[in-house]
Amino acid sequence: MAEAVVSTILDQLASLLREQVGGEVRLFLGVDEEVEKLTSNFQAIKSVLEDAECKQVKEKAVGDWLDKLKDVSYDIDDVLDEWNTAIQKLRIMEAENASNASNASNASKMVIKNLLLSGSSNGPTSLPTISIVGLGGIGKTTLAQQVFNDHEVTVHFDMKIWVCVSDPFDKIRIGKAILESIKKDAPTCNEFQTVLENIHESITDMKFLLVLDDVWTEDSSKWEQLKNCLKYGSKESRVLVTTRNRKVAEVMGSTNVIEVKMLSDDKCWSLFSQISFRGRNSEECQKLEDVGRRIVKKCKGLPLAIKTLAGLLCFKKTIEEWQSVLDSEMWELEEAEKKIFAPLLISYFYLPSELKRCFLYCAIFSKDYKISKDRLIKLWMAQDYLKPNQNKDMELIGKEYFEKLAMRSFFQDLTRDQGDGSIITCKMHDMVHDLAQYLIKNECFNFEVDDIGEFRLNSYYEKARHSMIVFKGKASFPMSIFFLNRLRSLVFDYHYSNEHTYIDTSKLFDHLTCLRTLHFGYKSIKDVPIGLNKLIHLRYLDISRNYGIKELSEVVCELYNLQTLNVDGCSNLKKLPEKIGKLIILRHLINNDTSLEYMPKGIERLTCLRTLCEVVVRGDKEACKFECLRNLNHLGGELRMTCSGGVDVGEINKAEFKNKTKLHSLCIQLSSLSWDVSNTNEEALEDFQPPPNLEQLDLWGYRGASRLSLNWMMSLTKLRKLYLYRWSGFE
């Protein structure tokens, strides 16, 4: 055992040396030789371990030494893992910072700010429009975001609205997006005139900032009606446009045009070296500088190109690898095929195969789609894209894949958790999305279906493997989807609509039997469809926010490959299937905001679970009790415990929470449990052994003795938040 732990540490140390992050480790510890010293010491220890493990049987001192070695080794392993995690996080944050600083200069930002914050318009138009013009990937959207999020700008305007326009210029979609940004409970309407009337009513005399990002249309008539409606706002309202085309700026009636120039040679090199030279010593940097500068020249002053290639070369250690990028024939493809952006293609080409397919899968999302990192990882997992590793959870492997793609600038606009800084959501630059769509060709599509005419799919799509269908308004369900019988992913979404379309599932499962991912969007089904069990390959089922569902039928339990079941927000869901224990490889049961009356006892068999948001225990024979959680030791994240009757507080320790080391937040509603007149309940709480790595603990409704000794609190060294709600009579 000791040898295994020492081997793990040597692997960790070798990884640090391989990645040549000695410089980064010094940032944390102030030492540069410790890694090599530790490696040398542990190699020496490993050489005598086999002999020591034989002698420990007869010699107690040797056994004691091995025990101490194991303890120290585990501690060092934890520290090394923290180093690696911190370095990984630093890399991503530095890439982000470089991205933000790439070309959105303070001078340009200040010019735009002054134009936005200046007094009311006295010019020929009552709606001043500022356009940011520049090549794709030059930083227009980044500059607009910096201005949009500026504190002074936020305080100045009554409302801020951001709409991604793209091509084509869909005036109804844009109008509805404006309306939904203004009013979260905006009325559902599909007539353009009705949309305009609602906007007019909402913005009259209000001081607003409207950003129209990525505008392509050169047809002024498409913009004119919206513009006339927006003139009813305050005279201090402003419109900010980003576009690649100066003619578009003219069509939009721009009062000011800010042209974003290409980066200067010095700024290009500064941005490139900041990312690509990270973790290298000065001697290495000097060897690579000449090739690096020639690569930068090929990027033509475009920040996106520089960041993408720098993110790639950060992982290339030799000058031969850098030279290979410089000499790549793919630089020539940009001229032959206008849809290809050579720096992005080169960066993609050098991705490992497992990262390539994960990246290409993202073409399923529409442009400017806000992608949830955790959801994306589960979608990758459902397609078997994550390379198995005996020592790591699939979710952790997925997180590493995501971070590698983010470090190479395939993802941008990262939003982070305010607590631990972990990434929550991201977007793809439109040029990155174009590349993914181009490379995956006819395998991955997203469609918009509206209520104007019949939507039909032609033979071009017959080889489609992954598809997202976005419903607009009261669109009819597209029956032609049944002919895409090779689909592995089918996602129904309502990205631009508050309305819903009920999905006809009567034939769905007869035709689409290859599905591995199925997502029924907001209010699209009233019940779990009959025939769902025909989808024998299904790994990911999302029926969240379908309020008509009251119980899950037993057919769900025949989905033996199911990894993720999402019933989040199914507020009328009262019952899970009794035979849920058959889903023995289920990893994620996402069940926030439901009305579950109890959890079936079979939950105790789901020992692969990583996510279980809420558990409702009950005293009935068929219901889950605390002891049913005993073996669910892979649970992580947050867990809430409530009771719907018949369970005593004294049973709380039967869950053996002490073994659930991955739980970070635990909420127990004590008030819903039974309290007797004896001291056993108080004793149970005093003897409570919580998950050791808790960061937040909520205990609701204590109704016991006025004095209680909770000495176990001292063991929670990572606890940041403690909530004791409604503790009646407690001193």
Average pLDDT of 174-197? 78
Q: Quickly state the pLDDT bin for 256 (edges 50, 70, 90).
A: confident
Weakest-pLDDT range from 199-203, 353-357, 537-541: 199-203
Average pLDDT of 403-422? 88
- Beta strands (DSSP E) in 268-403 are 371-372
Same domain? 118 vs 217: yes
In the block, residue with structure tokens 């002891």:
627
> Where does residue 60 fall: left (phi above 0), alpha (psi -120 to 50 degrees), or beta otherwise?
alpha
Residue 122 falls inside a structural domain = yes
Same domain? 33 vs 61: yes
Q: Quickly state the pLDDT bin for 340 (edges 50, 70, 90).
A: low
Same domain? 13 vs 139: no
Q: Quickly state the pLDDT bin for 104 (edges 50, 70, 90).
A: very low
| Boundary-marking domain end, from 235, 259, 283 | 259
What span, in angstroms and rounded, lies between the C-alpha atoms of 152 and 132?
Answer: 20
Same domain? 165 vs 90: no
Residue 86 has pLDDT above 60, yes or no: no
pLDDT at 29: 39
pLDDT at 3: 54
Residue 596 has pLDDT above 70, yes or no: yes
Largest CA distance in the chain: 97
What span, in angstroms and rounded, lies between the C-alpha atoms of 582 and 637?
Answer: 24
Same domain? 91 vs 117: no
pLDDT at 608: 96
| Boundary-marking domain end, from 75, 99, 123 | 99
Residue 266 falls inside a structural domain = no
**How far does CA 352 lie from the centroid of its chain?**
21
Average pLDDT of the residues of the chain: 82
Residue 57 falls inside a structural domain = yes
Q: What is the CATH number of the domain that holds 251?
A: 3.40.50.300
What span, in angstroms and rounded, lies between the C-alpha atoms of 174 and 185?
Answer: 17
What span, in angstroms and rounded, lies between the C-alpha atoms of 652 and 672?
Answer: 12
Estimate the share of the chain in helix, then strand, then coil, as percent rounded to the nearest 5: 45, 15, 40
Residue 391 has pLDDT above 50, yes or no: yes
What's the start-to-end Cα distance of the chain, in Å?
Answer: 48
Same domain? 123 vs 215: yes
**Bridge-based pairing state of the strands 412-416 and 423-427:** antiparallel
Greatest mean pLDDT among 155-164, 482-491, 564-573, 677-686 lies in 564-573
Residue 480 falls inside a structural domain = no
Q: What is the pLDDT of residues 119-152, one digit of tens each?
A: 665 554 568 889 999 888 888 888 898 899 989 9
Helix (H, G, I), strand (E, B) or coil at 424: strand
Same domain? 91 vs 141: no
Q: Element (H or E) spanning 439, and its range?
A: helix 430-440
Please, are residues 55 and 48 in contact by the beta-carbon 8 Å criterion?
Answer: no
Residue 70 has pLDDT above 70, yes or no: no
Percentage of the chain beyond pLDDT 70 is: 78
What span, in angstroms and rounded, lies between the C-alpha atoms of 631 and 659?
Answer: 9
Helix (H, G, I), strand (E, B) or coil at 85: helix
Name which residue leads in pLDDT, 504 or 277.
277
| Boundary-marking domain end, from 259, 283, 303 | 259
233, amino acid identity: G
Residue 282 falls inside a structural domain = no
Kindly report the backbone phi and psi dihedral angles of residue 597, in degrees, each rounded to the nearest multiple of 5, phi listed first: -85, -25
Same domain? 137 vs 227: yes
Residue 598 falls inside a structural domain = no
Same domain? 116 vs 200: yes
Identify the bridge partners of residue 212 per DSSP, sorted by sequence position. 163, 241
Residue 730 falls inside a structural domain = no
Average pLDDT of 641-645? 85
Average pLDDT of 349-370? 92
Q: Which domain holds residue 205?
A: 106-259
What span, in angstroms and rounded, lies between the C-alpha atoms of 571 and 560?
Answer: 26
Same domain? 155 vs 80: no
pLDDT at 75: 61
Same domain? 180 vs 91: no
Residue 292 falls inside a structural domain = no
Count up the domains in the chain and report the number: 2
Joined together, the tokens standing for residue 436 give 């993914």
Q: What is the pLDDT of residues 536-557, one digit of tens each?
A: 999 999 999 998 899 999 999 9
Q: Element (H or E) spanning 426, and its range?
A: strand 423-427
Same domain? 148 vs 220: yes
Which of the 8 DSSP states describes residue 243? E
675, amino acid identity: W
Q: What is the pLDDT of residues 264-275, one digit of tens each?
A: 899 999 999 999
- Alpha helix stretches (DSSP H) within 149-264: 151-156, 171-182, 192-203, 220-230, 246-251
Q: What is the pLDDT of residues 29-46, one digit of tens each?
A: 333 456 666 666 666 676
